[in-house]
Amino acid sequence: MMDIFFYQAECGDAARICYVGTDGKPHNIFVDAGYERTFRHALAEEIQTLEIASEQIDLWVVSHIHDDHIGGVLSYIKAIKDGEFTDIVHAWYYNPPRETFSTLSPPSHSISEAKSIQQGDDLLTYLSSVNKVPEVDFTTSLPEINLHGLKITILSPTPEKLEMLREKYPPLQDNPFEREEDLVVSHAVAAVGYDYHIRIDEFDLSQWREDNSVENGSSISFLTEYEGKKVLWLADAHPSVIANSLLRLGYSVDNPLICEWVKVAHHGSKGNNSQLLYSMVRCNNYLMSVNGENRHNLPSKECLARILRQQERPPGSKYHFYFTYDNEILRSIFTVDQREVFERYDFTVTFLKDKRLHVY
């Protein structure tokens, strides 16, 4: 048995996989943690429940250093240092941007004392202090990992993408990491930048440009498989890297990856979701961790159009979009298309009213 939960993290990612392993014991994997405030909003209660049940977090995947993915982890660490929580994380999947940063901050230093560093260095400093720094880089060079019956295959980053990140943030320097703040704007201002006034069938999908963020390109993206069911976790990864990884695994347009769920890349950004990627995937359920109120105008309707209008989409397949929030901005995405669009492209939309969504 496996359960997957997605948590409200504004325009950020936070999720948990829990399952009974081949050893007969419960296991928990957290995937990212949203902003610092996401910890109090959604994750603290979940972690307390695990503590009470004497369970551990077997693995916490921190995909990359942007605030909307790593922030909640830093809040958890602060709560540990304050004596409010116990560290119940057994292992971390995390690629430190400054791989030798630990030489700058002795383990005895606390996060609050590390004045010249930011989120990625903060996490590495803590992991050094508790002897939990990962011994390997989590890239496409790793073989499949079997964690008590849950198979994990890393799809991104490539070693080259991770090296680009480390070249941008070299060791022995305290240059701050790029941050991704979620700047909430009014509906009136946000509407100017959104593409929701365009009908689904009016997007020119022949034109596309891939995201070029070095930080997003370093995202740990992966495929999980449990009892024959697959879930695709795309983080903020570059779709060309994911597509190449799928090809390497033997998937293609003619032999697509069949999965139960896709956690759509970068909160539905058009630059992180390509025609090629979705031509190699067969899935009916697409989750977007996004609230619609952000400076990047996400989710992009063009991204949704690419999924719905995929030429390789099987006839008669019904698609389901899930958003982790429910508000006027998200509900306006298909207003211009009117109700007929749901029948024409055979899909439904579900908006989450609670702070977590149980998808299994």
**Within-domain flag for 296:** yes
Chain centre distance of CA 141: 20
Residue 8 lies inside a defined structural domain of this protein? yes
Tokens of 174: 């305290």
Domain assignment present for residue 19? The answer is yes
- Considering the domain boundaries, does residue 87 fall inside one? yes
**Helix locations, the chain, DSSP H:** 36-38, 44-52, 67-81, 119-129, 159-168, 187-193, 214-217, 239-248, 275-279, 301-308, 328-331, 340-344
pLDDT score, position 113: 36
**Same domain? 209 vs 346:** yes
Q: Which of 139, 169, 197 is the last residue of a domain?
A: 139
Residue 11 lies in a domain: yes
Average pLDDT over residues 211-222: 96
**Lowest mean pLDDT segment, chosen from 17-21, 90-94, 115-119, 170-174:** 115-119
| Selection from 350, 227, 332 nearest residue 284 by Cα | 350
Residue 159: inside a domain, yes or no?
A: no
Domain that holds residue 330: 187-358
Residues 210 and 344 occupy one common structural domain: yes
Nearest-CA neighbor of 97 among 128, 123, 58, 71?
A: 123
Q: How do 261-263 and 229-233 pair as beta strands? A: parallel
Count of beta carbons in the 10 Å neighbourhood of residue 37: 15
Q: State whether 191 and 122 are in the same domain.
A: no
Alpha-carbon span 235 to 272, nearest angstrom? 10
Give the residue among 219, 232, 200 at the shortest CA–CA distance from 334: 200
259 lies in the same domain as 345? yes
Same domain, 311 and 245: yes
Calpha distance 303→48 (Å, rounded):
36
CA distance 224 to 222: 7
The answer to the question of residue 266 being in a domain is: yes
Last residue of a domain, one of 139, 166, 200: 139
Choose one of 83, 105, 139: the last residue of a domain.
Answer: 139
Pair (200, 349) in one structural domain = yes
pLDDT at position 50: 97
Q: Which of 12, 14, 64, 31 is nearest to 218 (CA)?
A: 64
Distance, in Å, from the CA atom of 75 to the CA atom of 44, rounded to the nearest integer, reads 9
Same domain, 132 and 192: no
Instruction: Give CA 333 to chain center in angstroms.
Output: 22
- Identify whether residues 90 and 223 lie together within a single domain: no
- In sequence order, the 6+-apart residues with CB closer than 8 A to the CB of 216 are 64, 66, 236, 237, 238, 266, 272
Report how many domains make up the chain. Answer: 2
pLDDT at residue 347 greater than cutoff 70 = yes
Q: Find, among 59, 72, 61, the residue nearest to 12 by Cα.
A: 72
In a domain, 278, yes or no: yes
Residue 185 has pLDDT above 60, yes or no: no
Q: Which two tokens stand for residue 150?
A: 């849950």
Average pLDDT over all residues of the chain = 90
Q: Does one domain contain both 218 and 345?
A: yes
Residues 191 and 65 in one domain: no
Separation CA 236–CA 80 (nearest Å): 28
pLDDT in tens, 274-316: 999 999 999 999 999 999 988 889 999 999 999 999 999 999 9
As a whole number of angstroms, the distance between CA 63 and CA 46 comes to 20
Q: Is 88 found in the same domain as 215?
A: no
Do 73 and 205 reside in the same domain of the chain?
A: no
The closest of 322, 269, 314, 321 to 296, measured between CA atoms, is: 269
* Bridge partners for 89 per DSSP: 57
The total of other beta-carbon atoms located within 10 Å of residue 62's CB is: 26
Query: What global pTM score does this model have?
Result: 0.91
Given a contact cutoff of 8 angstroms between Cβ atoms, the answer to whether 37 and 68 are in contact is no
